[in-house]
Amino acid sequence: MEKRRVTSKEVTEAALRLLAERGVTVKAIAEIVYEMQSPYNKGLTIDDCIESVEKVLQKREVQHAILVGIELDKLAERKMLSEPLQTLVETDEGLFGVDETIALGAVLGYGSIAVTTFGHLDKHKIGIIKYLDTKRGQGVHTFLDDLVASIAASAAGRLAHNFRDEEERKETEIMQEKEEAIS
């Protein structure tokens, strides 16, 4: 059988469509990023955070995690999983950690700041994560809350690294100007 090659455009579109379908907007994720990153990054704007979230959503690992997680949430909603997985996912069983594991896997490409931010968000659910986590009886979001935390944490880690690079670039420029003034 000839294997069909899935295009990256197809995966990107599916991931974005699934998030929208589950009521998660880029803006809502960006608001979490802003809350996490603004104390360390003076002058950070919500637009910076939106841009960072959009960049993270272009990553294949992140898109794949979204496809897997949301699919399982949807199947659990329709009671289509086999037992005992059906009950584990549907009730968001505390010891079932696969939702966190998949989400954590997706942040690893963004460095240790993203990992620690993910841990923080997993513990202190804020913004739309809290909303999804407490939206009992209205759909299954066992995987989605962790995916949102993962995207937000990656976007925050990305901003932290870019902010430092920008600072260093400015410092180098100032140094060069001083050297030129002396010579």
* Contact set with Mg ion (CB under 5 A): 99, 142, 145-146
Kindly tell me which of 147 and 159 has the beta carbon lying closer to Mg ion: 147
Kindly tell me which of 48 and 145 has the beta carbon lying closer to Mg ion: 145
> Quick check: bond before 84 cis, omega within 30?
yes
Least separation in angstroms between CB 114 and Mg ion: 18
Least separation in angstroms between CB 132 and Mg ion: 8
- Token pair, residue 172, equals 């180098």
Kindly tell me which of 8 and 134 has the beta carbon lying closer to Mg ion: 134
What value, to the nearest 5°, has the Cα angle with vertex 6 and ends 72 and 145?
30
Question: What one-character DSSP code corresponds to residue 96?
Answer: -
CB of 111 closer than 8 Å to CB of 157 = yes
Kindly tell me which of 148 and 160 has the beta carbon lying closer to Mg ion: 148
Q: Strand, helix or coil at 145?
A: helix
Least separation in angstroms between CB 79 and Mg ion: 19
Kindly tell me which of 31 and 145 has the beta carbon lying closer to Mg ion: 145
Least separation in angstroms between CB 48 and Mg ion: 27
Q: Which of 65, 66, 40 is nearest to 156 (CA)?
A: 40
- Token pair, residue 138, equals 């209205």
Cα–Cα separations (whole angstroms), residue 93 to 32, 41, 88, 97, 132: 25, 37, 5, 8, 15
Least separation in angstroms between CB 145 and Mg ion: 5
